[in-house]
C-alpha cells in the first residue's frame, strides 16, 4: 500500500503549485485535485511553452500519469471541456468523480451579482461561481457530475431548482436559460464528458492498494481556507492538506509527505488583510519582475514581503514535512530583503496568527540581498546571502526548505538531498 503525497499552497494561492506538481509528476502514477474549481489557475512552462490549467490536474503533461478530479471539486463542465481540448486523446488519462458537484453558468451569475451588490465590501472573488456552487452542495440542493449521464432528468431537476429559487434569481436580476437551452447545454456536456465520469473513490483506493505513487495537487492557499483563512475574504473550500482526505475519499493515514508551496515573498489577489503588503517601489518591483498577474482573471496581484509568522502557522496547519520555496529569482538585485518575524497588534508583540488578521503591524528584520540566482539548479550554486535567507526561513518557520525554484521552467528547480 502506498501513501498519497500532498502539494499545498501556504499563502494566498498562486505560490507556484502547478510548476512543482508538473515537475514532480514525472515520478508519479496519479495526480489528483480534491477541492476548488476553475477559480484556480496553475501556469506551467516547459521548454518555453506555456500551459494554463484551471481544473485539469497539472500531471497532464506527464503522459504516464493518470489524472483525477475528486468529489471535493466543483466542476464547471464547459471550462473543463475547453481545457481538455488543448490535449489529444485523454481517454484513460483523466477521470472525474461522479460525486463532484456541478458549477453551472447560473452559479457564476449569482457570484457576480452578489459581488456587485456588496460594492465596497466585495470579496473580490474570481466570479467563477465557486461560493454559490459550494453553498448549493452544503445546502443539499446541488447537482452532481454523475447526473450528467442522464441529461433529461438533470434538466428537470435544475428547472425545479430554478422555480423554487425564482424570487432570489429575480431579485438579483439573474437571467436563467429556458428548458430547451438548458437541455441542449447538458446534452453537450454529457456527450463530451460522459466517458470520463466515474467512481474515483474506488480508483484512488485501487491505486493505493496497488502501491502506485499518488500526488494530490492543492488549489488556492492556506490563508484562503474557509475555516483557517482570512474569513470572509476566503474561498469556499478546505484548502489545507486535511481537505484532500474528504475531497477524494481517503483516510488521514493514507497521507504521505506534505510539501508546502511558498513564494520567497508574498502575493494576494482579491480583497482582505495582507499584513506584509508593500506599497513602495519594492512591491512594484516584485509585481513586475514576478509577472504577478492572475492566470484566471488577469487581475494584478498585491505584493509584499515574506511573512514567517503566517508561513509557520500554515506549515503547522498542514503538517508540512518540507517547504518548496518559489520565485527566489524575483528577489534578485534587492540590496536588502525584509522578512516579517513577528506581528504587533494593539501595541503588543505576538508571534502567532490571530483569528482576525485585521490591524496587524508587521515587525521586520532585514537581511542582505544577492545579485542573481537565475537558473541555479544545485544548492551550492546559490550565492551565500541567498543561502542565509533560506536558512533564516527554515529557522523562523520551523520547516525544512527541501525544494527551491529559480525560474518558471520545469528544470530550474533545486531538489535538496
Residues found near ligand IMO in the complex (CB under 6 A): 9, 12-14, 39-42, 123-126, 128, 130-131, 219-221, 224, 235-236, 269-270
Q: Using the rule CB under 6 A, is 327 a contact of ligand GDP?
A: yes
To Mg ion, the closest distance from the beta carbon of 14 in angstroms equals 4
Tell me which of ligand GDP, ligand IMO, Mg ion, none is bound by residue 329, counting a contact when its beta carbon lies within the kind-specific cut-off of 5 to 8 angstroms. ligand GDP
Q: Could you confirm whether 38 is annotated as catalytic?
A: no
Nearer to ligand GDP, 40 or 84 (CB): 40
To ligand IMO, the closest distance from the beta carbon of 23 in angstroms equals 16
Q: Using the rule CB under 6 A, is 39 a contact of ligand GDP?
A: no
**Omega of the bond leading into 53 within 30 degrees of 0 (cis):** no
| Short-list 401, 366, 395, 399, CA closest to 382 | 401
Q: Which of 41, 177, 221, 310 is the binder for Mg ion (CB under 5 A)?
A: 41
What is the Cα–Cα distance from 299 to 302, expressed in whole angstroms?
9
Q: Could you confirm whether 228 is annotated as catalytic?
A: no
Q: Using the rule CB under 6 A, is 42 a contact of ligand GDP?
A: yes
Q: Using the rule CB under 6 A, is 131 a contact of ligand GDP?
A: no
Q: Which of 11, 408, 410, 414 is the binder for ligand GDP (CB under 6 A)?
A: 408
Size of the site for Mg ion (CB under 5 A): 2
* 52 in Cβ contact with 226 (< 8 Å): no
Tell me which of ligand IMO, ligand GDP, Mg ion, none is bound by residue 324, counting a contact when its beta carbon lies within the kind-specific cut-off of 5 to 8 angstroms. none
DSSP 154-203: HHHHHHHHHHHTHHHHHHTTPPPP-HHHHHHHHHHHHHHHGGGEE-HHHH
Q: Which helix (H) or strand (E) holds 152?
A: helix 151-164
**SS3 for 362?**
strand
Tell me which of ligand IMO, Mg ion, ligand GDP, none is bound by residue 269, counting a contact when its beta carbon lies within the kind-specific cut-off of 5 to 8 angstroms. ligand IMO
Supply the DSSP symbol for 331.
Answer: G
Tell me which of ligand IMO, ligand GDP, Mg ion, none is bound by residue 407, counting a contact when its beta carbon lies within the kind-specific cut-off of 5 to 8 angstroms. ligand GDP
Q: Which of 22, 38, 42, 111 is catalytic?
A: 42
* 266 in Cβ contact with 276 (< 8 Å): yes
Q: Using the rule CB under 6 A, is 297 a contact of ligand GDP?
A: no
To ligand IMO, the closest distance from the beta carbon of 37 in angstroms equals 8
To ligand GDP, the closest distance from the beta carbon of 219 in angstroms equals 7
To ligand IMO, the closest distance from the beta carbon of 36 in angstroms equals 6
Q: Which of 14, 22, 111, 254 is catalytic?
A: 14
To ligand GDP, the closest distance from the beta carbon of 123 in angstroms equals 18
Rounded to whole angstroms, what are the CA distances from 206 to 15, 202, 211, 212, 336? Answer: 31, 6, 9, 9, 51
Residues 6+ apart with CB under 8 A from 328: 264, 373, 386, 389, 390, 404, 405, 406
What is the Cα–Cα distance from 366 to 103, expressed in whole angstroms?
45
For the chain, what percentages of helix, strand and coil (3-state, to nearest 5) are there? 35, 25, 40
Q: Using the rule CB under 6 A, is 326 a contact of ligand GDP?
A: yes
Q: Using the rule CB under 6 A, is 260 a contact of ligand GDP?
A: no
What is the Cα–Cα distance from 164 to 157, expressed in whole angstroms?
11
Ramachandran assignment for 248, one of left (phi > 0), alpha (psi -120 to 50 degrees), beta (any other): alpha
Nearer to Mg ion, 41 or 362 (CB): 41
Instruction: Give the x-and-dash track for 2-21 against Mg ion (CB under 5 A).
Output: ------------x-------
Nearer to ligand GDP, 37 or 249 (CB): 37
Please name the residue that has the C-alpha cell 497532464: 60
Q: Using the rule CB under 6 A, is 41 a contact of ligand GDP?
A: yes
Please name the residue that has the C-alpha cell 439573474: 174
| Short-list 257, 277, 213, CA closest to 402 | 257
Tell me which of ligand GDP, Mg ion, ligand IMO, none is bound by residue 406, counting a contact when its beta carbon lies within the kind-specific cut-off of 5 to 8 angstroms. ligand GDP
Nearer to ligand GDP, 14 or 29 (CB): 14
* 105 in Cβ contact with 132 (< 8 Å): no
Q: Using the rule CB under 6 A, is 45 a contact of ligand GDP?
A: yes
Q: Which of 6, 8, 11, 16 is the binder for ligand GDP (CB under 6 A)?
A: 16
Strand 306-307, strand 361-368: pairing? unpaired
- Which residue numbers are catalytic? 14, 42
Provide the binding-site residues for ligand GDP, judged by CB under 6 A: 9, 13-19, 41-43, 45, 290, 295, 326-327, 329-330, 405-408
Amino acid at each position: 500500500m502506498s501513501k498519497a503525497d500532498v502539494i499545498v499552497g501556504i499563502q494566498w494561492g498562486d505560490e507556484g503549485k502547478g510548476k512543482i506538481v508538473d515537475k514532480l509528476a514525472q515520478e508519479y502514477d496519479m495526480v489528483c485535485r480534491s477541492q476548488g474549481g476553475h477559480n484556480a489557475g496553475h501556469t506551467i512552462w516547459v521548454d518555453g511553452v506555456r500551459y494554463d490549467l484551471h481544473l485539469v490536474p497539472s500531471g497532464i503533461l506527464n503522459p504516464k500519469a493518470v489524472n483525477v478530479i475528486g468529489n471535493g471539486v466543483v466542476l464547471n463542465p464547459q471550462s473543463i471541456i475547453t481545457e481538455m481540448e488543448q490535449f489529444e486523446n485523454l481517454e484513460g488519462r483523466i477521470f472525474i468523480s461522479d460525486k463532484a458537484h456541478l458549477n453551472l453558468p447560473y452559479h457564476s451569475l449569482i457570484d457576480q451579482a452578489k459581488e456587485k451588490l456588496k460594492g465596497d465590501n466585495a470579496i473580490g472573488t474570481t466570479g467563477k461561481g465557486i461560493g454559490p456552487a459550494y453553498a448549493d452542495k452544503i445546502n443539499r440542493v446541488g447537482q452532481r457530475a454523475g447526473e450528467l449521464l442522464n441529461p433529461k432528468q438533470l434538466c428537470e431537476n435544475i428547472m425545479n431548482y430554478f422555480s423554487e429559487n425564482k424570487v432570489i434569481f429575480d431579485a438579483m436580476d439573474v437571467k436563467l436559460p429556458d428548458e430547451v437551452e438548458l437541455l441542449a447545454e447538458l446534452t453537450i456536456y454529457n456527450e463530451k464528458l460522459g466517458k470520463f465520469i466515474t467512481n474515483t473513490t474506488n480508483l484512488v483506493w485501487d491505486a493505493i492498494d496497488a502501491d502506485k505513487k499518488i500526488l494530490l495537487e492543492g488549489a488556492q492557499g492556506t490563508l484562503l481556507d474557509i475555516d483557517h483563512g482570512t474569513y470572509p475574504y476566503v474561498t469556499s473550500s478546505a484548502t489545507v492538506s486535511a481537505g484532500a482526505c474528504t475531497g477524494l475519499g481517503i483516510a488521514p493515514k493514507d497521507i504521505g509527505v506534505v510539501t508546502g508551496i511558498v513564494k520567497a515573498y508574498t502575493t494576494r489577489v482579491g480583497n482582505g488583510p495582507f499584513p506584509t503588503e508593500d506599497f513602495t517601489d519594492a512591491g512594484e518591483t516584485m509585481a513586475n519582475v514576478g509577472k504577478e498577474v492572475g492566470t484566471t482573471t488577469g487581475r494584478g496581484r498585491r505584493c509584499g514581503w515574506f511573512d514567517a509568522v503566517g508561513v509557520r502557522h500554515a506549515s503547522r496547519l498542514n503538517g508540512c514535512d518540507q517547504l518548496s520555496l518559489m520565485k527566489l529569482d524575483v528577489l534578485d538585485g534587492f540590496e536588502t530583503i525584509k522578512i516579517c518575524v513577528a506581528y504587533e497588534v494593539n501595541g503588543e508583540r505576538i508571534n502567532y496568527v490571530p483569528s482576525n488578521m485585521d490591524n496587524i503591524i508587521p515587525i521586520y528584520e532585514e537581511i542582505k540581498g544577492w545579485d542573481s540566482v537565475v537558473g541555479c539548479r544545485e544548492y551550492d550554486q546559490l550565492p551565500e546571502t541567498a543561502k542565509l535567507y533560506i536558512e533564516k526561513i527554515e529557522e523562523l518557520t520551523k520547516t525544512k526548505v527541501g525544494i527551491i525554484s529559480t525560474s518558471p521552467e520545469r528544470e530550474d528547480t533545486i531538489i535538496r538531498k
